[in-house]
Amino acid sequence: MTAFFLLVCSVAASMLVIPLAWRLAPRIGMVDQPDPRKVHKLPVPRVGGWGIVAGCLLPLLLLGTDSNPLLQSFMAGTLVLFAFGAWDDARQISHWPKFVGQVLAVGLVIFWGDLYITRLPFFDGDVLAPWAGRIFTMVAMIGVINAINHSDGLDGLAAGETLLSLIAVAFLGYLAGAPLVLHLALVVIGGIFGFLRYNTHPARVFMGDAGSQVLGFATGLLVVYLIQHANSAASAALPLLLLGLPIADICAVLYLRISGDMNWFKATRNHVHHRLLDLGFTHFQSVVVIYSLQACLVTAAVLLRYAPDLVVIGVYAIAITGLFTLLWRAERSGWQLTADAWRLPAQLSRILARLRHSARVQSGFVWTIAVTVSSLLLLAVFGSHQVPRDFGVFAGVAVLLAVMVALAYRAWQGMALRVIVYMTVAFATYLLTTYPTEAGVDLQQGFGAVIILLAVALGIFVRFVPDQSFGATPTDYLIAFALIALLAFGGIGTASTGLGAPLRFVTFSIVLFYGCEIIISHLQRWRSVLGSASLATLLVVAVRGLTTGI
């Protein structure tokens, strides 16, 4: 229940704070202007970090820190980096003040939270003295902060890479029985998900230094704590795979700057994403390629968590060497990606074109998605044998707010409808998968089969139905990677760790979220039906939770 609460509150806080912050952005100078080195062509508010930080801190404040020095130092360090990052986003300060902020934030974790590295690859036990471990940790964590900060060059890129790393960290923390790792990872994941809602290409908001530095700080802290304390049996070299591509990218960029006799701290166009763009990859393709590489690295981290250090380092070295060798050879040979590389055979293209423009096919998908999503929301809540009282309270408040909005505007409005629908999906799927009745267990199996069919229908709709406003984005691929990984890793110790219910909850929720988004974004005549189904579901949750809840 705590993990669910943290994740939901984090996503909600991030999604709600960002729209408020971007209204203030022009007044306080937090707008990113285009220049020759950047990809975007129009001014974009740089306040996404506000939502990420709100998603990280507000749920923890509601839950309480329980006098945990490490948790308190994390929150204090996050505020320090947010302050210095926001200063840079508004005034474009030099790298030295930002470095001071990074030292302060990391110092809080090392000296107040008492977290530092003592284990190193190829050595058994603790080999670093406390003073050496603290220095090494300071350098390593500042390096991670800057690696994530400098990877923030395309819409959704730094957030997506960090999200993949944190999903692996959260999973390893869950398996290791480390609630601190799981809970901290979840609040950052929630903040990222809320931010990505506004950062998919073309982005309406950038995270800025206030967001990217906090992501690097949180990821570095969690990786150190996981490997040094929560699961000290894991390979000490595992951070290479968990942190993945950003570390290799920043090292390669520094090498190119030093070898080219350039300023170490001056921004240049020699990051991996810039090099992919120069080879002819589109923004979409570049982000998906980098997501794919990062996903492979963090997957290897989970699979090789107890492997010898030499194996872990070898896998990382082979992957990174292969990447940069391919980039170097492509650049040296003048190779460019062309549209012909993605063209389907002529006969298959004609068949797909006929299907895309078939009114009967389109109507079939529309009805399948709309009816299935609305029905599943109502069915899910009746498959649980109990509803916690706090669920009933939240649902009751949501019902009252929804009715007020509907009466005020005489229709279901965009953001209000999304908040109600998303809350309904989360509540209904959580109750079905966590508190199933005997009939509910059978319902889950049927529910799962319908979810698979719905997922197929959604994929076909997004990919092939023309003139629809909900197109595939790199974030969709990111979520698909995460979902596939969760399903694949679900077999690792599911019986002993109880991962079955969380995996079903995540799977059902993600598919239903996408179904609801398609209805809200495209199927306008179904908005009132979806809103009514959500309202009825929340009303059932409220009544059951308030009358019989525990």
Q: What is the pLDDT of residue 492?
A: 40
Q: When comparing pLDDT for 17 and 404, which is higher?
A: 17
Selection from 177-191, 421-435, 467-481 with the highest mean pLDDT: 177-191
Closest residue by Cα to residue 398 from 413, 415, 419, 378: 419
Give the SS3 label for residue 384.
strand
Band the pLDDT of 323: cuts 50, 70, 90: very high
Confidence at 367, pLDDT banded by 50, 70, 90: confident
CA distance 311 to 313: 6
User: How would you label 196-229 residue by residue, b for 16+ Cβ within 10 Å and e otherwise?
Assistant: bbbbbbebebbbbbbbbbbbbbbbbbbbbbbbbb
Instruction: Name the pLDDT band for 57 (thresholds 50, 70, 90).
Output: very high
Residue 74 tokens read as 């994390």
Per the model's pLDDT, the better-predicted residue between 284 and 461 turns out to be: 284
Tokens of 332: 């040296």
Q: Across 200-209, 226-235, 379-388, which has the greatest mean pLDDT? A: 226-235
Question: What confidence tens digit (pLDDT) does each residue in 240-282 have?
Answer: 999 989 999 998 888 877 777 776 666 667 889 888 988 988 8
Residue 501 pLDDT greater than 70, yes or no: no
Per-residue pLDDT band at 414 (split at 50, 70, 90): low
Give the pLDDT confidence of 119-130 residue by residue, as tens digits: 999 988 889 999
- Better-scored residue on pLDDT, 109 or 9: 109
For the ranges 17-21, 413-417, 452-456, which has the lowest average pLDDT? 413-417
Per-residue confidence (pLDDT) for residue 135, from 0 to 100: 96
Q: What percent of the chain has pLDDT over 90?
A: 32
Stretch among 46-55, 189-198, 335-344, 369-378 having the lowest mean pLDDT: 335-344
Most confident of the following: 78-92, 369-383, 429-443: 78-92
Chain-centre distance for alpha carbon 183? 14
Per-residue model confidence (pLDDT) at position 284: 81
> What residues form DSSP beta bridges with 191?
none
How does pLDDT run across 168-187, given as a tens digit for each residue? 999 899 889 899 999 999 99
Q: How far is it, in rounded angstroms, from Cα 244 to Cα 164?
A: 10
Burial of 349 per CB tally in 10 Å (0-12, 13-18, 19+): exposed
pLDDT over 70 for what percent of the chain? 78
Q: Which pLDDT does position 137 carry in this prediction?
A: 97
Mean pLDDT of 31-54: 75
Q: What is the mean pLDDT of residues 111-136?
A: 93
Phi-psi region of 444 (alpha: psi -120 to 50; beta: other; left: phi over 0): alpha
This prediction's pTM: 0.78
Question: Looking at per-residue confidence, does 225 or 380 come out higher?
Answer: 225
Question: What confidence score (pLDDT) does residue 16 get?
Answer: 84
Judge contact between 341 and 270, C-beta under 8 A: no
CB 365 within 8 A of CB 525: no
Indicate if the pLDDT at residue 455 is higher than 90.
no
Closest CA relative to residue 191, chosen from 78, 71, 336: 78
Task: State how far the Cα of 261 lies from the Cα of 257, in Å rounded to an integer.
Answer: 6
